[in-house]
Structure formats: C-alpha cells, structure tokens
Amino acid sequence: MSDKPARGSLIGDGLAQIGALGLFLLQILAAVPRSLRYFTETVRQIFFVGAMSLVIIVTCGLFIGLVLGLQLYDVLSRFGSTASVGTVVAIALYRELGPVVTALLFAGRAGTSITAEIGLMRATDQLAAMEMMAVDPLAYVVAPRFLAGIIAMPLLASVFNAMAILGSHMVAVSWLGLDNGTFWSNMTGAVDVWTDVMNGVWKSAVFGAIVTLVATFQGYSTAPTSEGVAYATTRTVVYSSILTLAIDFLMTAFLM
C-alpha cells in the first residue's frame, strides 16, 4: 500500500485495492468472535464513533429537514398537493437521504478519526507492541470499531431522520401554515414500517460497516509517516463515500 497513487494500470491498482479490502473484511470477520472478550472496548468505541457524532448528525438533520420542507412545499404547492409534504419528506428520508447523508457525515466525522487513530498507532508501533504482548490488534483495535460502526450507524440515521422530520414540520406547519393533522395523517397513511423505516435501518447498518471497514483498512495499512496518515485519512473519505453510494445503488436496485 503505497501512500501515493502508484504508477501503472489504474484498473489493476483498483482491483488490487478492492481485493485487499475484501481480504481485510474476512480477517475482521474472523477476528469478531475473538473480539467479544474485549466487549468494553466495543462499548467505548460506540461512544467515540456514535455519541461523539451526535452533534453533527442532529445539526445537519435539522437543516436538511428545514430545506426539504421549504423546497417540497414550494414544488408541491404548484400541484395543489402540499398536504403530501410530510409524506414525501418521510419517504425520501427513510429510504435514501437518512442512511446516505448520515453515512457521508459519519465518514467525515468518525471515519477520519478512526483512520488517523489507527494510523498513528501503526506509526508509533502501538499495533506491533500489541502483537508482542500477544494481543491481536485485529480483535482488540479493528473489530470493536467495525462492530461499533454497524451498531451506531442505524441509531445515528434514526436520530438524523427524526430531526429532519421535526425540521420539515417546523417549516411546513409552523411557518407556512400547513395543517398539523394533515401533515401527520398523510405521512402515517403512506409510510410503511417495513418497506420504508426498516429498509433504511438495514441500509444504514451496511453503510456503517462500509465506512468503518474502509477507515480501519486505511489506518491499518497506512505508511507509518505523517504524510502516510494524511493520505490515508483523505482516502477514507473518498473511498467510503464512493463505496457507500455505489452499494446504495445496488441495494436499492436489488432489494426493492
């Protein structure tokens, strides 16, 4: 894993990266049973990747909701169907915006810090020291962060969705004068728990796995220098965003 884009065929490099990522995923999955004895470490990581991301998730969720409310009210008023603002906001959020935007924010907030943290542990020999103390870094460092991502992302996406719905409600009902009952009854009439809400929960769990997989992989295989860590952090955001959106498309296409 060079810290600069290597010369040579772009496709070959890309395939090699994907292959290495896949192998790393297998290694993590193999390490998960062993990591269960470090349960408190997983709890600690849920705190760092989850609870510490709440501020950005709550703020961005609220703003997305406000914007969606304004835009949709404007567009739907041309068709005389402003009553559906709540419905459209909820479905758009549950199915796509909630999981995807949360994943992108998560990559920027938690993914980068995971990469930088593991990269620094690599650079300062902390990972080698664990190996020498007969502690498997995959089980102690990587797997807990991976599990924490899978657990935290659906919860973060739910908080994001709730904030966005509150935001759109604020715009549509409190500012633009849509009837409160209309807003909610249209939403409850059209949104389904399984096809909409839970679908988004599965998606965000998968996205949480993708972001933490890329982040831990980049940190783990970083060149042990400060430039190496910097490159790896950038790559975490780029690769995890691309992978998230690509897999979102595949999941939407095949699972709906």
Partner 1 sequence: MSEVSTSSPDALVRIRGLRTRLGAKVIFDGVDLDIPRGRVTAVMGPSGTGKTTLLRHITGQLVPDAGEIAVDGHDLARLDRNGLFELRERIGYLFQNSALLTDFSVFENVAFPLRQHARLPEELIRNIVLPKLQAVGLRGAADLMPAELSGGMARRVALARAIVRDPMLLIYDEPFVGLDPIALNQVLKLIRVLNHTLGLTSIVVAHELSAVRRVADHIYLLADGRIAAHGMPDELVRGDTDWTRQFFGGEADGPVPFHYPARDYAVDLGFVQVKA
Partner 2 sequence: MTQRRSHQIGTGLFILLGFAALAYLATQTTSLANYRQGPTYALKARFTNVGQLKLRAPVKIAGVRIGSVSGIQLEPDRLEALVTLAIDNSYNQLPDDSAAAVFTSGLLGDQYVALKPGGSPEMFKDGDEIILTQSSMQLEELIGKYLVGGGDAPGSKPAAAAKPATPESETH
Q: Contact at 8 Å (CB) between 88 and 171?
A: no
Nearer to partner 1, 118 or 171 (CB): 118
**Stretch in the footprint of partner 1 (CB under 8 A) among 10-18, 67-75, 130-138, 237-245:** 130-138
* Length of the chain counted residue by residue: 256
Q: Which of 227, 94, 232 is nearest to 154 (CA)?
A: 94
Helices (H) and strands (E) in the chain, counts: 12, 0
Residue 131 binds partner 1 (CB under 8 A): yes
Nearer to partner 2, 8 or 80 (CB): 80
Residue 47 binds partner 1 (CB under 8 A): no
- CA gyration radius for the chain? 21
Structure tokens at 203: 């998606």
Helix (H) or strand (E) holding 151: helix 143-169
If contact means CB under 5 to 8 A according to the sort of partner, which of partner 1, partner 2, none does residue 167 touch? none
Residue 135 binds partner 1 (CB under 8 A): yes
Residues that bind partner 2 (CB under 8 A): 40, 43-44, 46-47, 50-51, 54, 81, 83-84, 86, 90, 94, 151-152, 154-156, 158-159, 161-162, 165, 179, 181-182, 184-193, 196-198, 201
Structure tokens at 217: 């992989």
5: left (phi > 0), else alpha (psi -120 to 50), else beta? beta
If contact means CB under 5 to 8 A according to the sort of partner, which of partner 2, partner 1, none does residue 162 touch? partner 2
Nearer to partner 2, 28 or 159 (CB): 159
Q: Contact at 8 Å (CB) between 233 and 218?
A: yes
Q: How far is the CB of 122 from partner 1 (least distance, A)?
A: 11
Residues that bind partner 1 (CB under 8 A): 120-121, 124-126, 128-129, 131-136, 140
